[in-house]
Every structure is written in C-alpha cells, then in structure tokens.
Amino acid sequence: MAHPALADNPTPTVVDSARGGGRSVSFTFDDGPNPPDTLRLLDVLREHRVKAVFCLWGEHVRQHPEVVRRIVADGHTLCNHGMRHDDMATWPAERIRADLLETTAAIRAAVPGARIPYFRAPYGNWGQTPAVAADLGMQALGWRLAIGDWETPGTAELVRRLREGITPGAVVLMHDGGGDRSQTIAAVDTVIPALRSEGWRLSLPARRG
C-alpha cells in the first residue's frame, strides 16, 4: 500500500532541475552517511547557509543513525538511495518496492516520521524504479552535472569541474560517502561563495517532474 498521497503527487519523471529557474543550482550528496566527512560537510553547509539533498544508503544509515539525525536537524532534505546500492535497472517492481521500503524503514528508525520526498537510483540506472518510487510517495531525482568526485582528482580539479560545469537550473551530483570525500567538501566550501558572488542561488531540486 502506498503512503498517503501528497498535495503534489510524485510522477515517474526523473527530476534534474533546481527550483526557481534562472541562475539556480541544487547540490545533492550520495552514499552517506559517512562520518567524519558527512559531519564536516554539514558544518560547511551550515556556515554558508545552504540546504542540500542527502541521498542515503540504507546500510550506512543503520551504521550511523546519529549522522542522519544531524542531517535532519540541520534542515536538509532526505532521499532514498537504496539499501545496499544495488543496480535495480532489471529488477521487477516488487523487488524494487521491497528495497525502497526497507531503506525508508531504516531512515525512519533513525528519525521517526522523517520526510523522504526523493529517490535516486544507484548508478543512475533507473529501470522501473521511478514508477515504484512515485507509488511510495517519492519523486525520482536525477542530475545534470556529475563532477566525478569518486575519482578523487584533487580539490582544485573538482572546483574547476563545478565552475565550468554548472548551468542554470542544474542539479549537481556529488558524494559524501563511498570513500574519503575530503576533496569534495573542500571544493564545496570554495565554490559556494564564488557562485553567490556571481548571482547564483543555491536551492533545492524541483518537487515534481
């Protein structure tokens, strides 16, 4: 049974745009929670007064529930990123549904009643996941720019990729989990004030496709 319908019902369309149009951009972070990197990122976002989306890996949520509580306490938005970061592209709907429900349950065990408005498919391999997620009250969340921070190419290179790759209305994919993400966090700390000085707004993604 699906969660009660929201005022603006999710659609099976994958959202990849930021709210507000024009020079707006949304920062999203995958594969956490991952202390100490997630905690340091939260400090950076708080310092710059930026709200982001955290796409949570269910098993990591079970390992670090206190970090999920900090994410929510700081006012950020949650996204279901699957329980074990499996490629769900070829899975039948019922298997997808079971995984998403398990992930949501893990998040809500850490933060009872947590709002989880988005789902992002691991590896961006969607298959039937957008429709299943919509039925469970979550909008599929894609991206327009992935900076390849899993390569850990150095902070300066990540800053370059952000500065040159961001386009109006882009959702940006970065990572706070899955390895040492200190370069990503340093790049975010550098890029936010630079973007703002050029008139960019940092906003959340669009609500619906």
Residues carrying an active site annotation = 30, 175
Residue by residue, DSSP assigns 27-81 as EEEEEE--TTHHHHHHHHHHHHT---EEEE-HHHHHH-HHHHHHHHHTTPEEEE-
Main-chain dihedrals φ then ψ at residue 116, nearest 5 degrees:
-130, 85
CA distances 105 to 8, 61, 132, 174, 185, Å, are 23, 10, 16, 24, 28
Q: Which H, E and C letters describe 42-57, residue by residue?
A: HHHHHHHCCCCEEEEC
Cα separation of 65 and 184, whole Å?
A: 22
Q: Under 8 Å CB-to-CB from 104, ≥6 apart: which residues?
A: 80, 116, 136
Helix, strand, or coil (residue 22): coil
Angle, alpha carbons 131-58-46 (nearest 5°): 100
